[in-house]
A and B are shown apart, each in its own frame.
Chain A
Amino acid sequence: MSVQANSVPLSWYLLLSAILFALGVAGFIWRRNIITVFMSIELMLNAVNLSFVAFSYQLRQADGHIFSLFVMVVAAAEAAVGLAIILTVFKNRQTLEIDEVESMKY
């Protein structure tokens, strides 16, 4: 890989995207507060956005930016509805731990 002072290898962007995605998955699996789980989902979506924009640079087309824009819009819509659901769950159960919302377990 050629590293000069004013150019960054593209694979470094993809490695950063992979690391952020793995951190998002780790937070999603490990954390117990439902809002932190949601924020790990947003971190995963951001990592994928970085990957899209990096490949868009390599192909010299703006299509990756369009994909990234749509991912952003869908993430915003999902955050709105998901937080409304969290508010409703909290109103009914007074808890934010995902281990305590288990009334559908047999």
Chain B
Amino acid sequence: MDLIIFLICSVIAVACGINLVLQKHPISAALSLVGVMGSLAVLYLLLGGAFIAAAQIIVYAGAVMVLFIFVIMLLNAGAEPAGRKRSYARLFGPPLLAIFVLLIAYAIQARLPRSEGVQFGRFTGGSPEGIGIKVFTDYLLPFEVVSVLILIAILGAIVLAHKEIR
């Protein structure tokens, strides 16, 4: 069952990634990226990261991508004009690259020691309790620094978007 879910979600993620690279209009690319983030959230759930899966949906797919779509609609970004001439590299490049990547992946995997597979439910440290214990004891300083970073980002965005009232 885990294998089926993994294969479905990984096919969706790769297909949406290829769609992001190939689409002409930025809004279609943004929706493909939302598809990638959704399928990655399911993969995080399979890996035992319940908190990270929820944070991915809430923060990434729910806030960052909505911000992207707002900006695309605000700027009225149109489709990219087509302008490249045909070349043999575009025709033969991607399939050869895919074969190359698969060969290297198989060669590396054949040399690695066998590790146990990923099963849903075998790792329970990614729950909010586990993340909370780690964040507030071992990683407290990075947590506080990151909150200052967000504050600086907010200030920067406000300064950039500020309009002088004369």
Contact = CB atoms under 8 A, between A and B. Distances in A.
Interface of A: 1-13, 15-16, 18-20, 22-24, 26-27, 30-33, 35-36, 38-40, 42-43, 46, 49-50, 53-54, 56-58, 60-63, 65-66, 68-70, 72-81, 83-88, 90, 96-97
B131 A3 contact: no
Contacts of B37: 46
Give the size category of B's interface with A.
35 or more
Contact of A20 (B13, B114, B161): B13
A79 B118 contact: no
Contacts of A96: 75, 77
Contact of A35 (B4, B47, B63, B72): B72
A58 B115 contact: yes
Contact of B105 (A18, A40, A56, A73): A18
27 contacts: A7-B3, A8-B117, A12-B10, A16-B10, A16-B13, A18-B101, A35-B68, A35-B75, A42-B33, A43-B17, A49-B40, A50-B40, A50-B44, A53-B126, A54-B118, A58-B115, A62-B125, A62-B131, A65-B52, A66-B135, A76-B59, A76-B150, A79-B64, A79-B68, A87-B71, A87-B74, A96-B75
